[in-house]
C-alpha cells in the first residue's frame, strides 16, 4: 500500500522496479504533489461500481422498470419451486455445493476450464478462508437444486463488497431476483453501500452493472514515468 505520505517518492521508487503501476486508487493519485512527473491514465476497466442498497431494495422509478419486470416474471414462473437459504460457510458440504454450482454456471455460459480457472481458484481460496473473513451470502434453489449464489464481504459498519454472484441462465429472471434479494437482506441489516467491483472491460458485464445505476465509481489508475 502506497499510503498518502511522501507519495511521489514512493511512486518513484516503485517505478524503478517496474515500468507501470496498476490499480492505483484515486486517493493516491490526488495525493501526488507533482503529477507532471508521471504519466497517469484512468484504468476504466478496473473502476469499481458502488450502489446504494436503498436504491436496489426499492427499485424506484422508470430506470428500474426492467428489473421489476424480470423479478415479477421469475416469481410467477417459479413461485412454488424456488427457495433462498443463507450460506453456512463453515459447512464443507455447502462449500462443495457452491463449487458445483460455479461449474454449472461456467458450463451454462459455454466457458472452458481455462476461461474460468483463475476465478475458480479465487472462489476456492475465499471459501477455504471464510472463517477469517466477515462473509455473508445466499443460495437460491429451484426444485431443491442449487441454481445460484451471492457472496458478500462486510468491510465496515455500512459498506459491503460482492465478491461472487452466479446464477443459471435458463431460470429466466433468477439473476435479477437474487441480486435484489441480497440487497434487501443487506439493507435490512443496516448496510448502506455495495461495491460490485470492476467489469474488466467485458462489454456485457459493463452493460449489466450500469443498468443497476451505480451511485458512484471508485476510479483506478495506471502510472508510468514521463
Domains of the chain: 7-44+221-225 (no CATH), 48-197 (3.40.630.30)
Three-state SS string over 27-68 comes to: HHHCCCCCHHHEEEEECHHHCEEEEEHHHHHHCCCHHHHHHH
pLDDT at residue 157 above 90? no
Name residues whose C-beta falls within 8 Å of residue 70's C-beta, 6 or more positions apart in sequence: 172, 173, 176, 177
pTM over 0.95: no
126-145: pLDDT as tens digits: 999 999 999 999 999 999 99
Report the alpha-carbon distance of residue 150 to residue 133 in Å, rounded: 15
- 110: cell is 459455454
Closest to 219 measured CA to CA, from 31, 24, 35: 24
Amino acid at each position: 500500500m502506497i499510503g498518502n505520505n511522501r507519495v511521489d517518492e514512493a511512486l518513484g521508487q516503485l517505478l524503478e522496479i517496474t515500468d507501470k503501476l496498476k490499480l492505483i486508487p484515486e486517493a493516491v493519485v490526488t495525493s501526488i504533489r507533482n503529477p507532471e512527473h508521471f504519466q497517469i491514465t484512468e484504468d476504466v476497466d478496473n473502476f469499481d461500481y458502488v450502489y446504494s442498497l436503498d436504491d436496489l431494495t426499492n427499485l424506484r422509478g422508470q430506470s428500474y422498470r426492467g428489473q421489476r419486470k424480470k423479478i415479477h416474471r421469475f416469481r410467477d414462473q417459479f413461485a412454488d419451486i424456488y427457495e433462498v437459504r443463507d450460506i453456512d460457510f463453515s459447512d464443507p458440504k455447502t462449500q462443495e455445493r457452491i463449487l458445483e454450482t460455479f461449474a454449472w454456471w461456467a458450463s451454462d455460459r459455454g466457458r472452458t476450464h481455462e476461461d474460468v480457472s483463475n476465478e475458480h481458484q479465487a472462489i476456492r481460496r475465499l471459501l477455504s478462508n471464510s472463517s477469517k473473513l466477515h462473509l455473508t451470502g445466499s443460495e437460491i434453489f429451484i426444485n431443491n437444486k442449487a441454481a445460484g449464489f451471492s457472496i458478500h464481504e462486510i468491510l465496515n459498519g455500512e459498506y459491503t463488497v460482492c465478491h461472487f454472484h452466479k446464477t443459471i441462465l435458463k431460470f429466466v429472471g433468477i439473476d435479477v431476483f437474487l441480486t435484489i434479494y441480497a440487497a434487501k437482506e443487506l439493507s435490512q441489516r443496516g448496510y448502506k453501500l455495495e461495491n460490485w467491483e470492476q467489469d474488466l472491460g467485458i462489454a456485457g458485464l459493463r452493460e449489466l452493472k450500469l443498468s443497476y445505476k451505480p451511485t458512484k465509481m471508485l476510479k483506478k489508475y495506471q502510472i508510468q514515468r514521463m
